[in-house]
Amino acid sequence: MDITNSTATPLRLAVIVASNREGRFGHVVADWFTARTAERDDFTTRVVDLADVDLPTALSHRPDPAVRAELDKVTPVLADADAFVVLTPEYNHSFPAALKSLIDWHFTEWQAKPVGFVSYGGISGGLRAVEHLRQVYAEMHAVTVRDTVSFHQVHGRFDEDGNPKDPTGPDAAAKTMLDQLAWWARALKDAKSVRPYAG
């Protein structure tokens, strides 16, 4: 069932590209995924690319001007978002350090909002990273949606133009995940309009 609603105000979706590694494959997956969100009328999408952000792992309640400048690149986008999709590889059975820094530098920006996942990697397709992230986002009072998009052995899955060689499965998985994300985003947004979240 198609749950998109062209009469409703589009939900603001932040897509977080988690890898900042040199030679990363993430931008290929991100381009494919954001093309899927562009086909829908229930989301407007902004990309937060962690290759463009340099947040330290040492947290501070009084960040210096350099750190504040980096936060200014991302914090307003996270605060404004109704929902998130985290696009992550798997590094050593978990997710990238740059993503953990982004999460840890924020708190209220995640609260009572849904998070979906697009993962990629080798034999596990990044799913071990996603399972770790579910625990982290639970601590942030975020809601993670059940279904994910996952690319196993990712380097063999895309052609030279950046498109999946067999788009049927990934396209269907993206639709399912985004439908769930839209439902949760709308439900949580409506609930917060009536009653502030008690986080």
Q: Could you give the angle at which helices 168-194 and 26-38 cross, rounded to 10 degrees?
A: 70
* Average confidence (pLDDT) over 11-19: 98
* Average confidence (pLDDT) over 69-83: 98
- Does residue 140 belong to any structural domain of this protein? yes
The CB density around residue 199, as the number of other CB atoms within 10 Å, is 11
- Does residue 26 belong to any structural domain of this protein? yes
- Does residue 199 belong to any structural domain of this protein? no
Q: How confident is the model at residue 4 (pLDDT cuts 50, 70, 90)?
A: low
pLDDT for 26: 95
Phi, psi torsion values for 150, nearest 5 degrees: -135, 135
Tell me 94's DSSP state: B
**Residue 142 is part of a domain; what is its CATH number?**
3.40.50.360
- Does residue 20 belong to any structural domain of this protein? yes
Domain total in the chain: 1
- Does residue 1 belong to any structural domain of this protein? no
Judged against a pLDDT cut of 60, whether residue 140 lies above it is answered with yes
- Does residue 3 belong to any structural domain of this protein? no
95 residue type, one letter = F
* Average confidence (pLDDT) over 23-50: 97
122-138 as b/e: b if 16+ CB within 10 A: eebbbbbbbbbbeebbe
- 3 state SS of 104: helix
Q: How confident is the model at residue 199 (pLDDT cuts 50, 70, 90)?
A: confident
* Average confidence (pLDDT) over 60-82: 97
- Does residue 4 belong to any structural domain of this protein? no
Tell me 9's DSSP state: P
pLDDT, tens digit (0-9, with 9 covering 90-100), for 86-139: 999 999 999 999 999 999 999 999 999 999 999 999 999 999 999 999 999 999
Q: What spatial distance separates the first Cα and last Cα of the chain, rounded to whole Å?
A: 33
Q: Domain residues for 128?
A: 11-57+65-194
- Cα(11)–Cα(85) distance, rounded to whole angstroms? 13
DSSP 34-47: HHHHHT-SSEEEEE
pLDDT for 1: 45
Whether the predicted model's global pTM rises above the 0.75 cut: yes
- 3 state SS of 148: coil
* Average confidence (pLDDT) over 178-199: 95
